[in-house]
Structure 1
Amino acid sequence: MVDVIDYRDMPFSTELAGNIDIIQTIYNHSTDIKTRTFPLAGSKEAFLLFIDGMVNEALLDLHVLAPLLQARTDTSHIDFAYICSIVTTSQLTIVTSFEDLLKHIANGCVALLVDQLPFGIAVGVAGWQQRGIEEPAAESIIRGPREGFTETLSVNTSMLRRKIKDPSLKLKPLQVGRYTKTSVIIAHIDGIANHALVEEVRSRIEKIDIDGVLESGYIEGLIEDHPYSPFPQIQVTERPDVVSASLLEGKIGIMVDGTPFCLIAPTTFFAMLQSPEDYYQRYIISSFIRWLRFLFLIISLLLPSLYVAVLTFHQEMVPTSLLLSIAKSREDIPFPALVEALLMEVSFEALREAGVRLPKQVGSAVSIVGALVIGQAATSAGLVSSPMVMVVAITGIASFLLPQYSAGIAIRLLRFPIMFLSGMFGLLGLMLGVIAIIIHLCSLRSLGVPYLQPLAPMKWSEMLDSFMRAPIWNNRKRPSLTGRKKSIRQSSFKRSDHGEEGASS
């Protein structure tokens, strides 16, 4: 049994053999650790250490190992400057403790130790296999850049730099996870984002003490204000243009190594109902689609509950001919309207999840065919009525209009308790459920920012771009949800200016 070495803040020794013994003890029984000992400048020994598969071995051989082996032998003084003069790579870093050296090794660097030197050198020649830039799979694109983040953090930050070229874009690095040591980047634009908000995000992430972070969902669940709420308080996206637009509004991006999904905070309920394409199309069309989205949000949340409440307690509200038609279709149904609605809703949600989890080639076919077959079979067997099948189908279509998947899940989840209230108390129960949801939304905060802003608290100047899409030329100010630093985003602009120039030309 080999004792576990506490290498935190352990300094290097000037004796190379002792340093090698410590490293070999730390990486005991690790077959992917590659080492090599060789003479340097004739009189001293050097030691190389790297992880197989995380280093570009062609660069290592050409720019690191070959120059070191061919170094002149007529020198007696070897220091960091001498190493820099012979190693032909740009990334060389002095590390003074084993902990720092092992962090660099885990990130794809090569460790170089030289006899009589009281420090190590991390050489950056990382080169592991990675996925190329592709169109985001979770966010369909109608108009806009067809590129999405990847699992490599350096690629994601470079994509962000390509969008925002100003040096005021700041990328602050952090590390989370005792074992995974996952790299996390806090992105914001200095001078636009509220400094106190940036420090709050940094403080919350630094307080995380967990064994590992494998996806940005870990960070989201550990820093959000209300973890027991079904509503997401942090926006998730894998589109660089969405992150860039959010940073220009004063928001903060949180990028996690190993996942293409970036977090955006703070966010609001209305931001969850907006799509990036709203700002790439003509504002009249985008406004109409946004109104349609609000309408179908209400339908997705309340239509089954309204159907249950009316059929159970308020039949007088239905026109006589329609009521007779519904009664005829339900005369052989053995279940009350509430049980019928629950049976169909649960079946539809199960089919939807099955379509998501199955391979793409068969997922959509299974969900569509399954819905048709089950709906027809249930109607023929007398388990559910035809109007209920239509209500569930319209509700399912309405839920697809929500652009944010996490917000759509929250609406789908809340549909069931409102359905129970409607089945027990009728329209009174439905209204009680709606009031409870509104009160809950008013109490939510996203990093301290009210979740229903600009509706609650009311901000008339920002209402235009919440319920409809304001024209680009009329959108002069940034949202005030993160402060009022540099609130003017463009100079005053009049449409008549273009008309006069065109007439004069």
Structure 2
Amino acid sequence: MGLRRKMRGLNFKKEDFKGHEQLESEREQNAYRETLSRHLFENEAVLKSTFTDCPDVIFRSFLIGNKTKALLIYTEGLANIEEIDKNVLSPLMQQETASLPDIQAILEQKLSVSKVKPITDTMQAVQEISSGNPVILIDQQLQGITVGLAKWEKRAIEEPMAESVVRGPRDGFTETLSVNISLLRRKIKSPDLKMKSLVVGRYSQTQIVYMYIEGVVDQQLLEEVHNRLNRIDIDGVLESGYIEEFIEDNPFSPFPQILNTERPDVAASSLLEGRVAILVDGTPFVLIAPTTLYSLFQASEDYYQRFMIGTLIRWLRYLFLLIALLLPSTYVAILTYHQEMLPTTLLLSMAKSREQVPFPALVEAIIMEITFEAIREAGIRLPKQVGSAVSIVGALVIGQAAVSSGLVSAPMVMVVAITGVASFAIPRYNASTAIRMLRFPMIVAAGTLGLLGIMLGILTIIVHLNTIRSFGVPYLSPMAPMKGAEMKDVLIRAPWWSLKKRTRLTGYSNTNRQSEGQKPNPQKGTE
């Protein structure tokens, strides 16, 4: 009974779960795993002591065939009560038997539930009950039965608000892992779509599934993903952001090294390129690894519009990137050190607008940028009914009042506004946040060294980007190192019939993504 007392507080240790060396894992886990007893009252005592002060865990005693004692344990609110009554309790209680019921016979003949399996130890029973699956224990049996009747409230499938498109699928991931897996299965129906699961979190017991296409993904990448996920040891995982910070290559870089998305089509297209999708139960955000800088500035709609439109929009997006990063710092540098670069008329106009401003351009820019970021953050955190109104009205009122009072100049307000609009054109929110963070040191560099400071800042960013890797893949690939054949999907969006080769990430297996001669040719006809 000593081992039974250890389980009462459910104070699981690192060794209780997956993610460690096999020999150590087996040795440590066996210390906390106890096989079920033949005596039902002993198993009931252990589980009741484990679930002390858990009134939502229901222990339902009943008789199988009016003869054999049995116990049903389930979590109220996580289990389907109607199905339990209909397909579990009713057939077992009405069973006519003259001998001890056999576990295998019950599994095969009595339970009309598709997902059932035997369990042999108390730890398995605790995990299944906590996950919402009812557990049946029978007197004089060394095995129990877990029934897949978990059911809880879940959100309907909706279009992701942060990744909306004009043309494209309208479905999005939800917080339910099984639903997210089915959405990807719907996109990729091949049996080569494989998945592996593990549990992370001592208390949260969060299920994580990583998916890949066998024959397309590189095995070294797959092993690296598996190793990084396996070594995570934390008390709880509530969102995929927890996992992202544990598995990224350079945690001190402002640039995201793992792509996250709420769109099944984006995840499916990444899988077709040989990437790995990491799904975390309880969040609609799926992680994609590895990723590159250019992937962060590509939207799914680029591939649904005609290639000329997709290329134009991509060029505009890169232009907006430069504006979001460099416009305020360039404005500060020119006003502070390089007034000769401006036409005389424009210089006189700006000088007139700054006559009453008591601050230098550097301080003025920092004040306005901080104010704009505060308004943006307030608009996000406020209730939806008033958030947009506060953002728009706040920006107009504060901007007009600041100009009227002489605290800032009108050109500075316009520069900050254009910069803010340009940052919204970046399709990935985490990439937009990185650019917003880098904007402040660029402004400081411009205010102290002028255009020389801007060039030093740009060089520093480029050098930093060249040092980053995402699961071994260079962050600036395929531009650095240069891979000419893959440049068709970087600065431009080439037509689909010309994208013959798959992007090479860490390996070179299965690089052909389509047959030869796919270019439309009405004169050729069909054979």
TM, length-normalised to structure 1: 0.97
Partner of 1:169: 193
Q: Following superposition of structure 1 onto structure 2, how do residues 82-97 of structure 1 map, counting pairs within 5 Å?
A: 82-97=106-121
Query: What is the letter of the counterpart of residue 90 of structure 1?
Result: S
Query: What is the letter of the counterpart of residue 397 of structure 1?
Result: V
Secondary structure of 2:314 counterpart? helix
1:476 aligns with 2:478: no
Secondary structure of 2:521 counterpart? helix
Partner of 1:331: 355
Alpha-carbon spacing, 1:179–1:482, altered in 2? closer, same or farther (3 Å): same
Partner of 2:432: 408
Partner of 1:466: 490
Render the CA deviation track for 1:223-267: whole Å, top value 9, x for unaligned. Answer: 000111100000010110000000000000000000000000000
Aligned residue among 334, 341, 346 for 1:310 = 334
Aligned residue among 258, 281, 286 for 1:234 = 258
Q: Following superposition of structure 1 onto structure 2, how do residues 23-422 of structure 1 map, counting pairs within 5 Å?
A: 23-422=47-446
Query: What is the letter of the counterpart of residue 351 of structure 2?
Result: A
Checking the alignment, whether the CA contact within 8 Å between 2:339 and 2:347 is kept in structure 1 is yes
CA distance in 2, matches of 1:184, 1:498: 48
Checking the alignment, whether the CA contact within 8 Å between 1:10 and 1:99 is kept in structure 2 is yes
Partner of 2:37: 13
Query: What is the letter of the counterpart of residue 139 of structure 1?
Result: E
Query: What is the letter of the counterpart of residue 7 of structure 2?
Result: I
Tell me the CA shift for residue 494 of structure 1: 4.7
Tell me the CA shift for residue 120 of structure 1: 1.3
Query: What is the letter of the counterpart of residue 234 of structure 1?
Result: I
Checking the alignment, whether the CA contact within 8 Å between 2:107 and 2:116 is kept in structure 1 is no
Tell me the CA shift for residue 97 of structure 1: 1.0
Checking the alignment, whether the CA contact within 8 Å between 1:355 and 1:367 is kept in structure 2 is yes
Tell me the CA shift for residue 70 of structure 1: 0.3
Render the CA deviation track for 1:75-112: whole Å, top value 9, x for unaligned. Answer: 34523223431111111111111111111112211110
Secondary structure of 1:171 counterpart? strand
CA distance in 1, matches of 2:164, 2:192: 31
Which sits farther off after the overlay, 482-491 or 134-143?
134-143
Query: What is the letter of the counterpart of residue 113 of structure 1?
Result: L
Checking the alignment, whether the CA contact within 8 Å between 2:103 and 2:143 is kept in structure 1 is no
Query: What is the letter of the counterpart of residue 373 of structure 2?
Result: E
Checking the alignment, whether the CA contact within 8 Å between 1:176 and 1:183 is kept in structure 2 is yes
Partner of 1:455: 479
Query: What is the letter of the counterpart of residue 153 of structure 1?
Result: L
Secondary structure of 1:481 counterpart? coil
Secondary structure of 1:480 counterpart? coil
Render the CA deviation track for 1:421-455: whole Å, top value 9, x for unaligned. Answer: 11001011110001000000000010111000011
Render the CA deviation track for 1:456-484: whole Å, top value 9, x for unaligned. Answer: 11111111210010101111111111321
In structure 2, stretches of 5+ residues that fail to align are 11-31
Tell me the CA shift for residue 496 of structure 1: 5.3
Checking the alignment, whether the CA contact within 8 Å between 1:234 and 1:266 is kept in structure 2 is yes
Secondary structure of 2:146 counterpart? strand
Checking the alignment, whether the CA contact within 8 Å between 1:198 and 1:252 is kept in structure 2 is yes
Which sits farther off after the overlay, 117-126 or 46-55?
117-126
Alpha-carbon spacing, 1:129–1:77, altered in 2? closer, same or farther (3 Å): closer
Partner of 2:20: none
Query: What is the letter of the counterpart of residue 430 of structure 2?
Result: S
What root-mean-square deviation, in Å, do the aligned CA atoms of Structure 1 and Structure 2 show?
A: 1.4
Partner of 1:445: 469
Tell me the CA shift for residue 137 of structure 1: 2.0
CA distance in 2, matches of 1:496, 1:179: 57
- How many residues are paired up? 502
Which sits farther off after the overlay, 437-446 or 99-108?
99-108
Checking the alignment, whether the CA contact within 8 Å between 2:261 and 2:286 is kept in structure 1 is yes
CA distance in 1, matches of 2:111, 2:505: 50
Identity of aligned residues (%): 54
TM, length-normalised to structure 2: 0.93
Checking the alignment, whether the CA contact within 8 Å between 1:63 and 1:88 is kept in structure 2 is yes
